[in-house]
Structure formats: structure tokens, C-alpha cells
Amino acid sequence: MVTETDRQAQRLVGVLGGMGPLATVDFLRKLVIATPAACDQDHIALVVRFCPEVPDRDAAVFGHGISPEPMLVRAALALRQAGAQVLAIPCNTAHFWHDAIVKASGLPILHIADAALAAVPTDLSDAIGLIATRGTLAGAIYQRRMPQAAWVVPAEEEVTRLVMPGIRAVKSGRIDEASELLGAATELLIGRGAQVVLMACTEVPVALAGHSFRVPMVDPTEALAKACVRWALQPSAPAPRQDPAAPAAEPVFRESPVFDCKRR
């Protein structure tokens, strides 16, 4: 239960969401569940910017279409103006613009990859499977946060045939189809030796809810939600670490089809 002292010391979390809409709702639900609350007043304060109009992140990583950076920055600035003291972005691929958002807004970001990797059992970190968009994989959004890990990632053909169609299916409300596709992609990673699998696109936990696999599954959406609760309720919590000293993220796959959210 949250005490009156805790409530007065709470900090305001800004959620830069809508990418995609159902995934953000899933994040907010998990944040509420993660909060140690006995009544409405015990819950943490949030300001949410729901931005489904942000241009396609996956295509932009490869230089296709309109860059989402200006719109992400404007949304972050609006959250700051509304009083947010820290940002949470329940979209993995959007973290490709992490540094630009932090620099322009002046707000720290609770990095979804840091939250997820902290939830990986240390004895299973030798072979981490990653189900993610082509942009998240190519931008090394997770790999750069834990470069010492052995990463098991989908083959390009599997991304094209299973992962991206599964993510698009969630965005268009075809959850059963998404579950089948993303479940198959997960089994392929496990078959190649993944000891634990990160569901590193916020649509993936929506599709795989209720699935059972023979290795642990880490939900970055849930991990980020818990990180937000800790940040809001613990004023002494350390500031989110920023990207380690490393070259700016560059996509690994230079040639990639444009991600069309309407293409099945």
C-alpha cells in the first residue's frame, strides 16, 4: 500500500505511446497491475501522449519514408510541458531515436531494453532469443545494451515470413493469426538454442498472451511498466542510464523492403 509520504513524493511519468495503440493499452494495463495499490489514490500519476500518427519507425530505420524523429521530439516536449519528469516509450523500435529525444527534450528515458534485460535470469544470458521488428534488430537496440550476450535472432527470411506479418496482424486486430505466426517464430529461436526469449516488440506479448513455451519468455512491456512504478514511487531511484559510449546506431541490414502497415 502507498503511504501518504510516498504519494507526496511521487514523480510524474510521461508515456509517449500509440505505437501501436493496442500495445500501449497493454502497457498501461500492466503498469496499473504492477502498482502496489489498494485504492484509486494509491496509483501513480501519468500523463499520456497517444500518437498513432507517428510515421512508420521500422521503415525509417532504413531511410525509407518520413522520419518519425520530429514528431517523437514534439510529443516528448509536450509531455515535459505537461509536467513529466521521465519518459517511457512502449515501442521498442522508437528507441532508435532515444538519444535525439533525450537531447531535444531534456528528459531521461526509462529504456525498455534496460528494463527487459534486467529481467533476464543471469544463468540464461548466454543465449538470448530476440523476437523484434526488422528495425529493432538492425538498429541493435538490445544488442548494444548487452554486447557481451550471445544473441539468437530470426533469419531475414523468418522476419519477412513470420515476424513482420505477425506484428501487422496485431496492429489490425487479427490476434489469432498473429499468435500463430509469432509463436512459430519463437519456436524457431528456441530450436536454435535460445535459453530465454525477449518479446522485443510491444505487439508480441499481446499476440503470445497465454502461450506456453519450453523456455522462459521475458515481456519488455511488463518490465518497462514495473520500471515506471519503481521510478515514480522511489524518489531515490537512480536516473535512467543513457546509451553507452558507442557509435550512433546504424542499421545492419542496408537493404530492406519498406514496411507497409497495410500489407499483409
Active site (catalytic) residues? 91, 201
Vertex 134 angle, CA 171 and 172, to 5°: 10
CB atoms within 10 A of CB 201: 30
Query: Which residues, at least 6 apart from 6, have a Cβ–Cβ distance to it below 8 Å?
Result: 233
The C-alpha atoms of residue 61 and residue 139 are separated, in whole angstroms, by 7
**C-alpha neighbours within 13 Å on the C-beta side of residue 203:** 27
